Structure 1
């Protein structure tokens, strides 16, 4: 089922957010930090097997180099953050529900893992990335909902529409992509997930959104390498 990953991710936000409305304040900052570190290791464990999918080592190398050049020139990370700041300015004075909705949407919907997981669901029917993201988002929703209220739960709607749309589009394109192309896309995506886990652990501060263009380049590079 192509949309299963998106459904699970949205459900995790709803369920854990609901728990957070009543019990989220019981988690101390120390426990929150410890849980985040543990989840970062989980994300890393998802990334490592995917890197081994590559059968053409030069494809991920060139994809990452060219992808980061494109991403940095476009500065996707800055553009997304600027959009988030604009949303906060426009809606910040309209109450806690709006604040929770906007914050949840920016955290859960817009991100490299959301895109990569949805592509994986659509291209290969593998929902592992979105399942892992569901755990991360569930913990975040619990914490956010404890301070921002029910608006956080409402962000599950744009999350499902975004991830479901990407997954369906990828499923439509998958018959036209050779198996080696899909494998290299998965390998590049796994490298980006590794970057996310390192950021979560505080080891690096990689602007992962600026690496997202690298995921599309194997479609072209597999024709020549």
Structure 2
């Protein structure tokens, strides 16, 4: 799990630097930086979404995932978690809005955890001990943590826990799940993640309020559907 541990540390370090920079950056610069990052995240999501070879699989997974997520009220629970985390920060941070902590946590978690590098890198680390892909991802995530934290606050740092749990689990289960993750499955998984990341961009731009966390079940659902769809063929 050395790759995941390095990735987690990079996010924490980047978030710390971002918090330091945040204090010296005027609000209008932070807002413009947020918009710039939102556009960049949107492009990343679009590129990922176009990886699909069968959009019907993605649409079906998104529909089923939305029903499951809404029933479980994942978005509500994550917002509660954001407020709970905010209780441990100073009064000034809470006055700025506890939801910002939750938004930073959810946004960063999605960006860091969804994508081919997270999946393939974790499995590669678990099967062969080669963490080079996750090392490269660590550098990218660390830089993004600096920018995200300077714009969205301390919630981004808590995304390191999501990375540790998600990528760590994939690494530990690598031998078991590797046969399931064919090129077709990874393509549809990446495409579904890309659509969610486009949603992150929309939230960052404050264009529309989306219960994005309620769509997270689409990720495991698309993996299952794509796997059996491929087997059937």
Category of TM-score, reference length = shorter chain: 0.7 to 0.9
1:1-20 correspondence to structure 2 within 5 Å: 3=3, 7-8=6-7, 10-15=9-14, 17-18=16-17, 20=19
| 1:156 Cα offset (Å) | 7.9
Q: Deviations over 1:115-163 (max 9, x none)?
A: 3143364368966887665444212434678xx8xxx898586465335
Confirm or deny: 8 A CA contact 2:35 2:205 kept in the other structure.
yes
Which residue in the other structure is 2:145 paired with? 137
User: Structure 2 vs 1, CA of residues 123 and 47 (structure 1 numbering), >3 Å: closer, same or farther?
Assistant: farther
The answer to whether residue 188 in structure 2 is matched with residue 184 in structure 1 is: yes
Confirm or deny: 8 A CA contact 2:11 2:142 kept in the other structure.
yes
Which residue in the other structure is 1:76 paired with? 74
* C-alpha separation in 2, matches of 1:141 and 1:166: 25
The answer to whether residue 217 in structure 2 is matched with residue 213 in structure 1 is: yes
Which residue in the other structure is 1:119 paired with? 119
User: Structure 2 vs 1, CA of residues 45 and 68 (structure 1 numbering), >3 Å: closer, same or farther?
Assistant: same
RMSD across aligned positions (CA): 3.8
User: Structure 2 vs 1, CA of residues 220 and 115 (structure 1 numbering), >3 Å: closer, same or farther?
Assistant: same
Q: Deviations over 1:31-57 (max 9, x none)?
A: 000001001111112112211211112
Q: TM-score, normalised by structure 2?
A: 0.70
| 1:224 Cα offset (Å) | 4.0
Gaps of 5+ in 1: 97-102
* C-alpha separation in 1, matches of 2:157 and 2:137: 22
Which residue in the other structure is 1:67 paired with? 65
Match of 2:178 among 174, 177, 194: 174
SS at match of 1:47: helix
Q: Deviations over 1:168-214 (max 9, x none)?
A: 15644133322211111111010001110111111121121111111
User: Structure 2 vs 1, CA of residues 88 and 65 (structure 1 numbering), >3 Å: closer, same or farther?
Assistant: same
Confirm or deny: 8 A CA contact 1:55 1:184 kept in the other structure.
yes
Q: TM-score, normalised by structure 1?
A: 0.73
